Structure 1
Amino acid sequence: MKKVLSINSGSSSLKISLFAMPTEQRLAKIMVDYSDETNQLVAITLPNHELIVQHYHNKLSPVELALKLLTKHKVINNPQEIAAIGHRIVAGGELFQRSIEITTEIMQKLESINELAPLHNPANIAGILDAQQLLPNCPQIAVFDTAFHTDLPPENFLYALPLEYYRKYRIRKYGAHGTSHRFVAQQAAKMLHLPLNELKLITLHLGSGASVTAIKNGKSYDTSMGFSPLTGLMMSTRCGDIDPSALVYLLKHHVFSDMNECMEILNKQSGLLGVSELSKDMREIERASTENPQAALAIKMFVKRVCDYIGSYWLELGGADALVFTGGIGENDCHLRELISERLSCLGINFQSQQNQSRDLPFDFASTDSQARLLVIPTDEELMIARDAYSLLSSKQLCNQTAVNY
């Protein structure tokens, strides 16, 4: 048995899970909210499913705090027990098309592409540096959200710009959420009792960040996010698709002081928050929607954009065996799932309203006569990270053993 730590670092929060591999038993799960550096909110779920929530009034780094908690609660006796650490990296560009062990050279390459995901990659790299300092002899593995989308055909990843921009600057669609889309696609194949490489799926990762992916024969065929995680669907604070001319117009009229302010508003003040002028949280918006027209409008816009992409990918794939809902909204919001599903009746997609309200994940809420199954599958990016880290660790050890024997 090998203990593998999965680290999912965000700009103000961190999710860590410790797994026993290859059994995939989750030994502990830790959530750290460090938006307030002097008062970190920490939740740890232990093997007996006991949940402990507390505040830490100190300046420990999030990874250091996580290791301290794992030791304190006797999940591990010593951090040296950890055999490998896997890190989620949002954007790998064209430099990284698979998970890889992190070396000094790899770190330099990672830092060179921070601009592809300025809200995410720097936080991901901070988590790596933190873990390297605390456990310098432990293999560190980078798992890229964009890697799953490297098989997109050129007609789907290229923009209709002068091709020189792609050749020289690699301007193209990279996608995101690939770790999540890959995981739920594998789980969907298990639920349907069919090989993944024979399926056509449309996976919907709907959460604070949101994206839709068309999956054909086990590979990403098209995806809604583009050069950065800003484009595609309307999200909690991100605008999604927008005519670039509108931004040029606003810049000319000095609505933004500079491009930095423009990007700040597009990333952090738009989407559900921008339209509702109430909240970035879909739950709060839904509660207010019966009396607040802007909240109701935000929901309608969100649902429309999701369905626009489903319709587009339905045509691209020539139909689909299943639609898969995941992410915070996709897994938990039966009302939003119903609103989306109602608009898909023209495709022959029908659902059971009562089954859609099930809390027993995963489940299928499609009617027996539906042209596609409607699956609700909880994502588990940390497990996907652990699988990749363990696979690379095993390959490395096998190579070393082979070299010695030879």
Structure 2
Amino acid sequence: MSTVLVINSGSSSLKYQLIEMTNESVLANGLIERIGAGGDTGSSKHTVTLPGSEARSFTSEHPVADHTEAFKVMLAAFDKHGPSMAENHPVAVGHRVVHGGKRFFGPTVVTDLVKINIEDLAELAPLHNPANLDGINAAQVAFPGIPHVAVFDTAFHATLPPAAYTYAIDAGLADKYRVRRYGFHGTSHKFVSEAAAEYLERPLGELKTIVLHLGNGASACAVDGGVSVDTSMGLTPLEGLVMGTRSGDLDPAILFHLNRKAGLGFAELDELLNRKSGLLGLSGHGDMRDVVTAAGEGDADAQLALDVYLHRIKHYVGAYAAGLGGVDAIVFTAGVGENSDVVRSGALAGLEAFGIAVDPERNTSGHRGRRRISPDESPVAVLVIPTNEELEIARQCLTVI
């Protein structure tokens, strides 16, 4: 067996997936929530699923003080429910790390120096990198003696040209404080762009692809021959498309205006743009399913939220098609992209003159795998490709060990 354990560590959660790499099958996946929960709120919740012909799922609750304790809980679940760690001991542990800055361009075997750099880059991702590092430290205790590999969300976008990653502010200030476009969701964009080439049975190197990763967080990426050349998220995951609770693009002078007129300080503005804007701010609903339902029932605020969301996607599709000098494929992925036929059709409506069209019957079919939703004769293939960031992390682990 050649298994890889993939870890996605949050500040109060631990997601994991054990993958058998000879056939890329999932042996187990799990989620431990409310790590560190104390007081009367009680215990952490652990859900583990064992896929297969007869999938089984188990849920338990117990105190989990920190990430080190979370790994003990995970290993105890393996002992009790399987799969056997003796028979499926991982050859490596892969870790999702959000921000690699300009320092990490690909999967990287974790060393003490790498951990120092991840910690230093926490100023660019204060909500994510510290939690990612907690997971790495705990995993090294639980799985000593095997390689631990960091896979960075920003790494796929390390190929952005200077014109795409440079902001037009004072160059010295930008250099001193590391202000530039880094981009995120890179692991997903890489997996999906390669899967699109495989689906179309065309060489990756000849394809011009626009990937639309539409979940609660959302980003667009222009991929030329398998290489990221532009992406919508910037210094942080706030820039770009409208998201569940994030504003995406806006005039930066709005912040000065709200500071002067509404008296909002930095912390309040941060809270506003990251947690109280986007679909939630416009409609009161942060989930696209609720927005679509409300809009269908005549809710004007929900309809406007949907229209703004679709307008922003179309804006990026047009910009990236121009930047690429043409486009061969547009790919929808992630929770909204994979499941909302309303979003897919609305985002590309009116682009038929550019060879971009959506077939209504294909778009609304119940199929949930990889599929084409554009007419066969359409010059631009419009695809739906379910993302699999865990598998991509596991694949990248094997390339460096």
TM-score for the superposition, normalised by structure 1: 0.91
1:116 to 110, 124, 135: 124
Q: Which amino acid aligns with 2:25?
A: Q
SS at match of 1:227: coil
User: Percent identity between the aligned chains?
Assistant: 41
User: Does the 8 Å contact 2:108/2:149 carry over to 1?
Assistant: yes
What does the per-residue CA deviation read over 1:198-238, in whole Å, with 9 as the maximum and x for residues that have no partner?
Answer: 11000000001100000001100100000111111111111
Among 281, 304, 308, the alignment partner of 2:311 is 304
Aligned to 2:351: 344
- Distance in 2 (CA, whole Å) between partners of 1:390 and 1:66 is 23
C-alpha distance in 2 between matches for 1:88 and 1:245: 34
Specify whether residues 65 and 333 from structure 1 end up closer, same or farther in structure 2 by C-alpha distance, changes over 3 A only. Answer: farther
- Partner of residue 74, structure 1: 82
Identify the match of residue 56 of structure 1 among 42, 46, 61: 61
| Maintained 8 Å contact 1:201/1:324 | yes
Which of 108, 115, 127 is the aligned partner of 2:135?
127
Distance 1:274 1:55, change over 3 A: farther
- Whole-angstrom CA distance in 2 between matches of 1:215 and 1:121: 26
- Please state whether the residue corresponding to 1:113 is helix, strand or coil: helix
Q: What secondary structure does 2:159 align onto? A: coil
Q: Is the 8 A contact 1:307 1:343 kept in 2?
A: no
Q: Distance in 2 between matches of 1:95 and 1:217?
A: 23
Structure-1 residue corresponding to 2:370: 362
State the TM-score, normalized to the length of structure 2: 0.92
Q: Do the aligned residues in 1 keep the contact of 2:2 with 2:88 (CA within 8 Å)?
A: no
2:40 corresponds to? none
Shift of 1:272: 0.9
Give the CA deviation at 1:14: 3.7
Summarize the alignment of residues 181-196 of structure 1 with structure 2, pairs less than 5 Å apart.
181-196=189-204
Rounded to whole Å, the distance in 1 between the matches of 2:394 and 2:246 is: 29
> What is the root-mean-square deviation in Å for CA atoms of aligned residues?
1.9
Counterpart Cα distance in 2 of 1:20 and 1:361 = 21
- Find the counterpart in structure 1 of residue 287 from structure 2: 281
C-alpha distance in structure 2 between counterparts of 1:5 and 1:20, whole Å? 9
Match of 1:194, SS? coil
The aligned amino acid for 2:3 is K
CA distance in 1: counterparts of 2:120 and 2:391, whole angstroms? 27
Greater shift after overlay, 338-347 or 359-368?
338-347
Contact kept, 8 Å, 1:234 with 1:240, in 2: the verdict is yes
**In 1, Cα distance between equivalents of 2:56 and 2:88:** 25
Distance 1:197 1:341 in 2: 25
8 Å contact 1:22–1:390 — kept in the other structure?
no
Q: Structure 1 13/282 Cα, relative in aligned 2: closer, same or farther at 3 Å? A: farther
Q: Cα gap change, 1:376/1:264 in structure 2, threshold over 3 Å: closer, same or farther?
A: same
Aligned equivalents of 1:71, 1:357: Cα separation in 2: 43
Match of 2:31 in 1: 31
The answer to whether the Cα contact below 8 Å between 1:34 and 1:41 also exists between their aligned partners in 2 is no
In structure 2, C-alpha distance between the alignment counterparts of 1:102 and 1:336, rounded to whole Å: 40
Q: Hey, what's the Cα distance between the residues in 1 that align with 2:87 and 2:266?
A: 44
Q: Is 2:50 aligned against 1:45?
A: yes
Q: How much has 1:254 moved relative to structure 2? A: 4.9
In the alignment, the residues of structure 2 paired with residue 346 and residue 12 of structure 1 have an alpha-carbon distance, to the nearest angstrom, of: 48
Shift of 1:188: 0.5
More divergent stretch after superposition (76-85 vs 149-158): 76-85
| Deviations 1:291-350, CA, capped at 9 Å, x for gaps | 321111111111111111001001111111100100000111112111112232232212
CA distance in 1, matches of 2:288, 2:169: 35
Q: What is the CA–CA distance in structure 2 between the aligned matches of 1:347 and 1:67, rounded to whole Å?
A: 53
Q: Which residue of 2 is the match for residue 236 of structure 1?
A: 244
Equivalence for 1:272: 279
SS of the aligned residue for 1:150 comes to helix
Distance 1:287 1:43 in 2: 31
Aligned to 1:328: 335
- 2:185 equivalent in structure 1: 177
User: Aligned partners of 1:276, 1:255: CA distance in 2, in Å?
Assistant: 24
- Residue 159 of structure 2 corresponds to 151
Which of 328, 353, 372 aligns to 2:360? It is 353
Residue 103 of structure 1 corresponds to which residue in structure 2?
111
After TM superposition, the structure 1 stretch with the greater mean CA deviation from structure 2, 5-14 or 243-252, is 5-14
Does the 8 Å CA contact 2:32/2:44 hold for their aligned counterparts? no
Asked if 1:316 is matched to 2:332, the reply is no
